[in-house]
Structure formats: structure tokens, C-alpha cells
Amino acid sequence: MNGSLTANEELLAALAAGLAQSPPCEIAVCVPAPYLAQIQSLKSKHAALSVVDVGAQDVSAHASGAYTGEASAAMLKELGCRYVIIGHSERRQYHAETDALVAEKARAALAAGITPIVCVGETLTEREAGRTEEVVKRQLAAVIHANGHCISEIVVAYEPVWAIGTGKTASPEEAQAVHAVLRAQLKAATDQSARIKILYGGSMNAANAATLLAQPDIDGGLIGGASLKAPDFLKIIAAAPV
């Protein structure tokens, strides 16, 4: 929950300047819903931002109706969203989102032609109890079960809860181990698993991005605080495999 009209314009202008100077990888910015229209306007203003897709940070599991304050997948699609973050750890923690609800939100996004970025990850307590694999597989299994043959259309983000906003980061080896588990689970679920990107989302920053992205099963990053600083975000983009 960051941003303002002025701050957004400054950030996107700085990104545009940086992207004009280097070949980009796949990039998306997922912004609070009130700013989606502004970001589309800024994309029209800066030609270099044509390579940047737009996403939202959450979506309703419902198509329409008496769900005050919710934003449906159809609404997000109309505002030009290609992606939406589903089941972020903060949504699970602060809004009590269950695995089943996350799966329903993923289904709603897919039905509208939006790619869900499905977040999975364990808490520090779960990691210390040796339950990391159990937790992430359970969270992903709910989405696989609810979405069947469409599962190859999702993006998965592994975000160890203990490494979000804490400055702590899973070592490249720790992150790779969990990504490998998720890759195997997806491979068992669909013969199109090679299409599914798995992102690392635990405090990836300009200093550690290259090492993390060099791991065989880490396809990209779900960037938090570092994405609010254009120089840092651009360094991460430069470190990503094209």
C-alpha cells in the first residue's frame, strides 16, 4: 500500500529513462487499484514503458454483486491488467485468506484472461519446524485442484514470510530447494509445466538479485520495497535473464 499520483509519476518516469538504455526482461508493475488508470496513462506518455505490463495487488473471488469494496477480475481486465497478485502472505495473514479462497481468486482471474501470480510461503515457525515443503505444497495444491487444465497459465511466487520486509533473505541454495519442490509439483500436475514461471519474493534487492536469479529454478522476482526505488529496480531488471 504505497504510492501517490506524484510519486507514481516520478517512479515511472525514472523507470522509463532507465529502460530506454537497456534491453529489458519481462517486467510488470502491480499497483494499488486506485492507480491502475494513472499507470496506463503514464505508459502512453512514456514510449519506453510499452514493455512494462500492469497488474493489480488483489482481486475478488466474485464476479459482481453485493461485495462492497471489492474489485472483480472483469474490472481489472477493463483497466488493462495483465496480472494480479493472488494470496500474498499479507493477505493470508491480515485478511485470513485461506488456501481455498486463494484458489477461487486464481480461478476468477483466469476466467477473465488475467494471469494470477499465486504466492506461497512458510512462516518462520513453520520453517523451524521443518514444515516448509509441506506448507508450500499444500498452498499450491489447492490452486492446482481448483484450476485443473488451466494451471499452466499461472505464475507462482515463493515468498518465505520470514524474509518479507525483514531484510532477511533465503540463501540462494535455500530458495532454489523450495523452487525445485514447486517445479516438481507443477510438473506432476501438467505436461505444460515448462511454461510456468516461478518467482522468488523474499526481499530480493539490487545486491542479491543476480545470485538468486542464477539458480536453475528461479525464473524471476516478485519485488517488494526495492521496486519503489527506480535505481534499485533497474539494477534487478538488468540482473534478470532475458
The continuous run of DSSP H or E covering 188 comes out as: helix 172-189
22 is in an annotated binding site: no
41 is in an annotated binding site: no
Q: What is the DSSP letter of 30?
A: E
3 is in an annotated binding site: no
Whether 156 and 140 have beta carbons less than 8 Å apart is answered as: yes
4 is in an annotated binding site: no
Greatest alpha-carbon span in the chain: 50
Query: Catalytic one among 122, 153, 159, 179?
Result: 159
**Distances from the Cα of 69 to the Cα of 1, 38, 39, 189, angstroms:** 15, 20, 21, 35
Query: Catalytic one among 88, 90, 104, 153?
Result: 88
Cα(7)–Cα(17) distance, integer angstroms? 15
Q: List own/partner pairs for 190-193 with CB under 8 A and 24 or more apart.
A: 190/149, 190/151, 190/152, 192/152, 193/152
Residue 159 falls in the annotated catalytic set: yes
Q: List own/partner pairs for 182-188 with CB under 8 A and 24 or more apart.
A: 182/120, 182/136, 182/137, 182/140, 182/156, 182/158, 182/217, 183/217, 185/137, 185/140, 185/141, 185/144, 186/140, 186/144, 186/151, 186/156
Assigned C-alpha cell, 15? 523507470
Annotated binding residues: 165, 203, 224-225
Binding residues for substrate: 165, 203, 224-225
- What residues are labeled active site? 88, 159
